[in-house]
Structure 1
Amino acid sequence: MKKLGHVVYQTHWDNEWYFTDRESQVQLVYHMRETIKMLEEGAVDHFLLDGQTAIVEDYLAVCPEDRGRLEALIKAQRLFIGPWHTQTETFAVSGEAMINNLRLGIEYANSLGGSSMVSYLPDSFGHPVDFPQIFNGVGITKFSFRRGMGDKHKLPTEFFWEGPGESRVITNVLIDGYGWSYDPFFSGKLLSKELASECKTNTMTPLKLIANKSPFDEFLLTMGNDQTPIRPDFKEKLAQYNDESDEYHFVETTFEKYFERLQAVCGDKLPVYYGEFLDTQYSRVHKSINSVRYDIKQLQDKIERLMTYNVQPLMAMADKLGLPWEQGLVDEIWRLLARAQTHSVCTNTDRTNARIFERLKMAHELAESTHVYLLRKLALSCDIQAGRSPLILVNTLPERSELVARYRVFTKQEEFSLWYEGEQVAYSVIAQERDYGGIWRKDESQHDPAKYHYLTEIEVAISLPALGYKVLEVDDSLGSCCRTLPSALSGTAIENACYKLEMKDGVLNLTDSRLNQTFTEILSFENDGDAGDNYDHCPPEQDWCIALGLEQADVQVVRHAQSEVMTLTGEWRVPHGLESRAKGCAEQVLPFVLELALKQDADLIELTLSVDNRSKNHRLRLLVNSQIASRFSRAGTPFFEVARDTQPAELADWREKGFVEEPTTTEPLLNHVSLIGDAHYASVFTQGCKEYQVVGADFDRLAITLFRSCGHFGLPDLPRRPGRASGLAEKIIATPDSQLLKPLTFHLALHMGERYQANQIRRRYVNFAKSNGYYHEQSLSRTGEFNISYFHTNPLDFKVPNQFSLGELMGTEAVFSTLLKNREGGYLLRLYNSEDSVIQVGELRSDIGMKVVSSANLLGRTTTENIVTLKSGQLNSYVIG
């Protein structure tokens, strides 16, 4: 009896890669013309446009006259688009960014006749544990992917993948890829015994491999490769192979029909898997891909955090006060971000990465300007005492915030006072400069003396209401009785109620007063070589790993009323390139400034490192000495956590077993990572650093990759990645921009504790991740801190209160994801549970009558289920109104 092969005709479409999006668009236009024509003529029954909608958007941008033809084919379920807007990156992208990518894709596809509800990710480099839950949250129950599964998973190519919150998707794995069959199929060689898989674990042909890996006597075969055109002889070739083959019978189908057949035959007999997919046996997942082009990933991360934790919650608060929600602005920012977060993970050529970087800059300008405009509009619309100016301070989290934060204010006088409800507010001066707000002249003596003012950075300890704001009044007609100045200290230590951080004999030591424990050399740095490419870090044959000391650094300690800061300034010496490294010559200077800050009573050590990179082909890592011998690390995922083995067994014999890539323990870092011991734990939070590894003889040090510099798109025959070059096998392309020869800044935080609680760790991360929301409305400088401040802006036609709170979430450990306007009415409050146990959702207390109305899915569609508890790892949206 012949095995039945279900053939899905498709194309995988990279919007940009070693080519730009505009170059790709030309191919797309002609490709789509042919696709529409052949579908209408019946040469092909069905065609899948890569599970995304961005390419349809690009096509209709220049061929709008074809919209009706596309709608007809989509409605007839002959042309399939969506549910993604772009083929997403999977491990360096936040959960909210993924949700919005899917939302935009589904909404756009539905506007054209209907979205495919099969998630298709044929080329993303592995898949996180959260995917089943994210997919279920938007109505998706079927998934097909290529990369990340290995024999260690002990799975056929079809199975149920279960995720947090009791989520589940029926899944197909394209075990030998999505595109291997295209050329053999149309050249008459599909049945050839000479075809070989890239993975050398077995000697089967790709066709035999996928047939044998299936859990039943039927299998899925995708037909189509990168940017491949539709062919008029498709049905003819199918008939030919059916005549020639004694083993297989092929039928044209769709993903939807295949999954229906799979469920009809196998039902619940399919095996079940829980976990992530990041294995390197059958397909390259490029485990060190996340550290390339740190500059781009840093900006991606910044936009995600700004939108998730600041812009959307603030816009929802403003909407409740009477300033309408602007969905178009929100969509445009997420759309630009989605187009910059595709599965290429910035492994592109310099021209393409420059286009991505520019797109991100536009998204950031939109997000930041939206944030500033909303703050300013509220500040303009409040009622304050004459002669004073409003300083609005915002808390966009659903719990009251007791914080120490810094703000910049403009005053006429050097000394000024801050007021709230008739009482002075204490502040510390961090820095102050005299500035000019008039018309600038070449000869500054011609400046108007009346236009000079002071720009002062201050630090304030303040309590802010949940999902709300306070307006302080700035008065520079009165000096402050609550003003303190910074004091320089002669020592080399800073401390607060939790920690003492001391520089001693060139080593940073940490004493934790709660643990009653000292960590010697808690922070250090190392530099090694990188002979890899944009896809993978690879140690050079003659490497030299350098421990970068701090003993020569200049140490300055400053104490403020609410914080203490230690600044180390110096120069490290590193090789200029691989040739110098091989010779053991460190001739290049790497200037650095390391700032360590302890806020009053805070249990975070905030770290900011600035370097000026002048060397090539190297990697800089921060080492955190946890003093915890670790078999597993615990890393944050979009909404949950995953344990990763620090000593996987496959490292010992991956070459002998024919893996396509070394299963290195370099791991993706999305938001935080921890090592957990019996007596204490150590956690690191990041803002843009996307890679870590557990190192040390006892696997007790967290190595956070700050950046790596390399110079090529893809290189062949790397020790960690044998065989063809990744990317473009037929050409070696230099990418000098990937060397990152420029100043770079990194912001991280370290936290220690006794008993690890996942939700508390995640809450600390959210507090660390959100931006400091404030705005000082004043008339001394039209340019202010932001370009948008130059424009005249009307206040609202009504007054807003000087203190406001949408509501406070009480009695819960749930973690805040975001708050946004719901199109079906009310607002969506998204919460999740990172713990392994069930927690209570708690209650929303509001002085303005806000309450939880119902639950909703991730698209805001209300459900009848009243969810008052969150299961382990569960994510849920609540409609409040």
Structure 2
Amino acid sequence: MAKVHVIPHTHWDREWYFTQQDSDVLATYNFTKVIETLESQSSFSCYHLDGQSAIVEDYLKVMPHMRERMAKLVSDKRLFIGPWYTQTDTFNVAGESIIRNLKYGMHVAEQLGHSMTVGYLPDTFGHNAQMPTLFKGCGIDNIIFWRGIDYDQQVERSNFFWQSAGGDSILAYNLVHGYGAAKNIVAEPAHLDNKIFPMVEKIKALAGLNEVLIPSGGDQVNIDPNLPDTLAKATARSSTGDTYVISSMEEYVDYLRRNSSDFDTFKGEFKIPRYTRIHKTIGSVRYDIKKLNFDIEQFLLKKLEPITAIAKAHGITVHTELLDIAWKKIIECHAHDSMGGCNSDATNADIMHRLKQAEEICHGLYNLIVKDIASQVCSEGDVIVFNNRIKPYSGIVDIVVFSTFADIALEHNGQPIITEQVKRDTLDGGKVIEVTKDGEKEVAVPPYYRFELKAKLEEIPPLGYLTLSVNEATSMDTAQQGTAAVIENDKLALTLVNGELILTDKQSGRSISNLIQFENQADDGDSYDFSPLEGDMPIYSQPLSLLGSQCGELMQQMTLQSRILVPHDLEDRRQGDANSEIVFKLTFTLHHGEQSLQADIDTVNHVKDHRVRVLINSDINADSSISTLPFATIERPIAPVLFNADDNWRERFRECPVDIETTEGAVAITNTSCAEQNSKALVITGRGIKEYQILKTAHTNQYDQIALTLFKAVGFLGKDDLLWRPGRASGINNTVVHTPDAQLQQSMRFSFAIAMTENASHQVIRELETAYLNQPFSYQQQRLNSFENRLERFQVRFDEKPMAKQFSLLAIKEQLELSSVSHSFYDANAIVLRLFNPTEQAIELDMNQFNGFANATIVNYREQELADDKPVVAPNNTIDLQLSCAVASPFDKESC
């Protein structure tokens, strides 16, 4: 005898092969019916709106008069909403985005009366290993999920503890038969006997408990008013004496808490396609939205939020409501289908539009904030340089300057700054209209210059700024254009020899030959999965050719070209016709003092149905890969699937379990088995590149090559019987959905950095990541050019605020990394600082560092005070501080 908790719900894809607008129309009918049914039937105790709040906001925008009725049901815990804003992809968005998703989702739900305290992710394509830490940080101690589990390799029971690398454990419950197990359940004996009862028996066997859960719902389904009667009849018919009752996920999690004393513990990720498809190669689908999303995330985290914190610390008004709008717009795009890219072209256009709207909000708000700050501290022509790190910055900074002087010099506190001109353009001053007594008069404006500079700066204050003056000079150091086949700095040298690049570490003597090559392969898959064309072989790029170089003391750069002759589409592949050319422009940059080689790849794609990867050689024989997760790294074994007569993966898996993996940003390989004095690693840090694989090269017979997938181009949302995914098409499988936009016939840029290091520890990887992504940025107070920034030409009157020429909001002396510094939801004069620990030891944070703030409180991700917490940060974990700034008086010191 068992109690069966039947969970009535709808799984509401906000967009997919249909658009959000389609979803909104359907929701007006379905959600209204849910409210009416719950109000009229006391026996229908509760219903779940898929664990996400965005769909509730969508509904109430159309039906605002239903708000009070909905809020009553939410407050009474009869209608469950939240905790997500949208049900996130957990691999292809930033960890900060996942936290903000929960934070906004729970806030919206609580405003309506209650946020469901269940980490519900019924359809996400796999789950990263740090989800327990992300949930725990938001006060959620559990997860109910479906995809990615393997009961043979990972856990024996469907209920267990899931522990993160950050040391947090949460209760986990796996939906054995998915979220649609009891969809459209009816009281017909054949349906109960042949479907429902056998499924429940399997769930009971895997749970080993007296109470189990089975969901009753499905994609976009409406509420079934007959469910209470159906469950009563199921109870009466059960031969095992099981009781079927309408229940909530919160109620079942409470039961798990009370009966969890002997639960096993699992540590790791859920990404195995054993029972369900998890679409392992979805990280390279629709690169356009993934790259734009990455750029906006980085702009928010590395630029807009830090300068917002600096502004707020000085009492400058920042309308953070705009920040909230920007975050919510990109989070709307983070649902598994949306950011996964497995959507229709119409839906993808909506996603791109929302992302571009968010981008414009971010850049516009940034422009006004930085202009306000500069107006307080800069004289005309001065440059303000911001440091977005929690340690002082010394190194090379990119600066754009406008001047009427043909040659310029930068100074800080009267001392000259080492500066190198990269580019100088002469700009037409145009004409301005002056209104005179005789009418309008056109007045010519003299031409002026736009300079792109590299400046060597010392000790830019952490989370702060310094100011530089711009003066006329008699001459300037300039990076020289040429055709040199070698570039170098004090650490690395890159040489082109016979069409191949050689990267040399000048300090260790390590050298990597044939550093980069491109691979092209047919893609017979769809928007969910890459799948090879049977019989097709990869095509590799031709030798590199030199286009030019630019060499200076602060920066050296080499520009190359690579070509591949390939078939135009699948039909040409089958015919063996290589009639289209892919051209890549490669730009490699070395800055003085930096240990990474920066690479930018530009291409225009005219080819269809193919995958493009860049292959990066190493001097390491690896047996595993290391990649980044939110606040942690994960080591994955190299376990390729071989396609031969003895291969039986199709008998055990729903799709090919190939070792193509996803990273939050960085990938590394290392020879950890070697003696410590001979240890070495190769670390790649990308900008929005999510997918990689470690390959064996033929000439070494070793796994020594990192393949980064740049993009895949396909023309269908779903296809049947793929080589790597047998059976039905994923998604909607009875209609062919053509997606010509997913062929990515457009120009694209791909960027990453390569570093040779002694090891691939978490700390080393994060230091390289910070060096590459957290670059200082600048703004010039000037009237010459009004189009460099989005809102520059509009007049805004700023209130005067006493501000110093140099400032630091805070500095952290411990070996912690900055995740974010954001505005507070609940205190207009506070900021929220999130730090994480990339070392192997717990770190105690010295709270005396925050004495300059009016108050420093340890909080969770939702800004709820953790009164008993000590300021100790475990490895791979975080600490949040709500810092209140005393804004009533002028700042005369280097912190709040």
Give 1:649 shift.
8.1
Give 1:287 shift.
0.2
> Secondary structure at the residue paired with 1:176?
coil
Mapped partners of 1:189, 1:170: distance in 2: 35
**% identity of equivalent residues:** 30
| Structure 2 counterpart of 1:820, from 795, 819, 822 | 822
Mapped partners of 1:687, 1:827: distance in 2: 27
Contact residue 383 and residue 800 of structure 1 kept, 8 A: no
Matched, 1:563 2:555: yes
Residue in 1 that maps onto 2:346? 351
Contact residue 132 and residue 169 of structure 1 kept, 8 A: yes
Mapped partners of 2:29, 2:483: distance in 1: 71
Give 1:383 shift.
4.6
Pairing of 1:107-126 with structure 2 (within 5 A): 107-126=107-126
Residue in 1 that maps onto 2:596? 604
| AA in 1 matched with 2:175 | L
Mapped partners of 1:287, 1:210: distance in 2: 26
Give 1:866 shift.
4.6
| Structure 2 counterpart of 1:794, from 794, 797, 812 | 797
Contact residue 515 and residue 754 of structure 1 kept, 8 A: no
Could you list the per-position Cα deviations for residues 27-74 of structure 1 after superposition, in whole angstroms to 9, with x for gaps in the alignment?
Answer: 100111110011001152100100011111011101111111111101
Residue in 2 that maps onto 1:497? 490
> Secondary structure at the residue paired with 2:856?
strand
Q: CA, structure 1 residues 866+549, in 2 after alignment: closer, same or farther (shift >3 Å)?
A: same
Residue in 2 that maps onto 1:436? 428
Residue in 2 that maps onto 1:647? 639
Pairing of 1:753-832 with structure 2 (within 5 A): 753-770=757-774, 772-783=776-787, 785-810=788-813, 812-822=814-824, 823-824=826-827, 826-832=830-836
Pairing of 1:488-527 with structure 2 (within 5 A): 488-527=481-520
Matched, 1:856 2:859: yes
> Secondary structure at the residue paired with 1:193?
helix
Give 1:621 shift.
0.7
Residue in 1 that maps onto 2:269? 276
Mapped partners of 1:809, 1:263: distance in 2: 38
Mapped partners of 1:180, 1:214: distance in 2: 16
> Secondary structure at the residue paired with 2:203?
helix
| AA in 2 matched with 1:465 | P
Pairing of 1:414-493 with structure 2 (within 5 A): 414-439=406-431, 450-463=445-458, 464-475=460-471, 478-480=472-474, 483-493=476-486
Contact residue 389 and residue 474 of structure 1 kept, 8 A: yes
Mapped partners of 1:524, 1:45: distance in 2: 61
Contact residue 314 and residue 801 of structure 2 kept, 8 A: no
| Structure 1 counterpart of 2:221, from 222, 228, 236 | 228
Could you list the per-position Cα deviations for residues 751-800 of structure 1 after superposition, in whole angstroms to 9, with x for gaps in the alignment?
Answer: 111133312311321332235522112111222x1221111122332342
> Secondary structure at the residue paired with 1:863?
coil
| AA in 2 matched with 1:420 | H
| AA in 1 matched with 2:585 | V
Q: CA, structure 1 residues 447+593, in 2 after alignment: closer, same or farther (shift >3 Å)?
A: farther
Q: CA, structure 1 residues 807+480, in 2 after alignment: closer, same or farther (shift >3 Å)?
A: farther
Matched, 1:216 2:215: no
Pairing of 1:383-422 with structure 2 (within 5 A): 383-384=378-379, 388-422=380-414
Residue in 2 that maps onto 1:26? 25
Mapped partners of 1:371, 1:90: distance in 2: 28
| AA in 2 matched with 1:821 | H
| AA in 2 matched with 1:814 | L
Q: CA, structure 1 residues 187+52, in 2 after alignment: closer, same or farther (shift >3 Å)?
A: farther
Matched, 1:370 2:365: yes
Mapped partners of 1:27, 1:62: distance in 2: 11
Give 1:285 shift.
0.5
Pairing of 1:604-623 with structure 2 (within 5 A): 604-623=596-615
Q: CA, structure 1 residues 524+205, in 2 after alignment: closer, same or farther (shift >3 Å)?
A: farther
Give 1:397 shift.
1.1
| AA in 2 matched with 1:816 | L
Q: Higher mean Cα deviation, 677-686 or 512-521?
A: 512-521
Could you list the per-position Cα deviations for residues 175-197 of structure 1 after superposition, in whole angstroms to 9, with x for gaps in the alignment?
Answer: 221013213547665434368xx
Mapped partners of 2:711, 2:89: distance in 1: 19
Contact residue 84 and residue 102 of structure 1 kept, 8 A: yes
Q: Higher mean Cα deviation, 318-327 or 538-547?
A: 318-327
> Secondary structure at the residue paired with 2:812?
strand
> Secondary structure at the residue paired with 1:586?
coil
Could you list the per-position Cα deviations for residues 563-618 of structure 1 after superposition, in whole angstroms to 9, with x for gaps in the alignment?
Answer: 11010035432221122223333211212210000100200110000001110011
Mapped partners of 1:280, 1:407: distance in 2: 48
Mapped partners of 2:640, 2:170: distance in 1: 27
Residue in 2 that maps onto 1:169? 170
> Secondary structure at the residue paired with 2:590?
strand
Matched, 1:628 2:620: yes
Could you list the per-position Cα deviations for residues 720-779 of structure 1 after superposition, in whole angstroms to 9, with x for gaps in the alignment?
Answer: 111111110111111000010111001111111113331231132133223552211211
Mapped partners of 1:66, 1:322: distance in 2: 39
Could you list the per-position Cα deviations for residues 209-267 of structure 1 after superposition, in whole angstroms to 9, with x for gaps in the alignment?
Answer: 32221121321100000000001111111112112220333111111111122232x23
Contact residue 564 and residue 598 of structure 1 kept, 8 A: yes
Matched, 1:661 2:655: yes
Residue in 2 that maps onto 1:676? 670
> Secondary structure at the residue paired with 2:113?
coil
Residue in 1 that maps onto 2:887? none
Give 1:656 shift.
5.1
Residue in 1 that maps onto 2:880? 877
Mapped partners of 1:839, 1:583: distance in 2: 61
- What TM-score, normalized to structure 2? 0.92
| Structure 1 counterpart of 2:527, from 521, 534, 542 | 534
Could you list the per-position Cα deviations for residues 607-663 of structure 1 after superposition, in whole angstroms to 9, with x for gaps in the alignment?
Answer: 000001110011111111122222211110011111111116899855354311111
Give 1:346 shift.
1.7
Gaps of 5+ in 2: 434-440, 885-896
Contact residue 181 and residue 214 of structure 2 kept, 8 A: no
Q: CA, structure 1 residues 133+654, in 2 after alignment: closer, same or farther (shift >3 Å)?
A: farther
> Secondary structure at the residue paired with 1:737?
helix
Q: Higher mean Cα deviation, 813-822 or 631-640?
A: 813-822
Mapped partners of 1:303, 1:480: distance in 2: 40
| AA in 1 matched with 2:718 | G
Contact residue 669 and residue 760 of structure 2 kept, 8 A: no
Q: Higher mean Cα deviation, 798-807 or 763-772?
A: 763-772
Give 1:827 shift.
2.5
> Secondary structure at the residue paired with 1:809?
coil
Gaps of 5+ in 1: 196-203
Matched, 1:595 2:587: yes
| AA in 2 matched with 1:370 | L
> Secondary structure at the residue paired with 2:356?
helix
| AA in 1 matched with 2:71 | E
Q: CA, structure 1 residues 835+206, in 2 after alignment: closer, same or farther (shift >3 Å)?
A: farther
Contact residue 393 and residue 462 of structure 2 kept, 8 A: yes
Mapped partners of 1:715, 1:95: distance in 2: 32
Contact residue 759 and residue 814 of structure 1 kept, 8 A: no
Mapped partners of 2:559, 2:378: distance in 1: 41
Residue in 2 that maps onto 1:198? none
Contact residue 760 and residue 813 of structure 1 kept, 8 A: no
| AA in 2 matched with 1:157 | S
Mapped partners of 1:694, 1:21: distance in 2: 38
> Secondary structure at the residue paired with 2:3?
strand
Mapped partners of 2:195, 2:50: distance in 1: 29
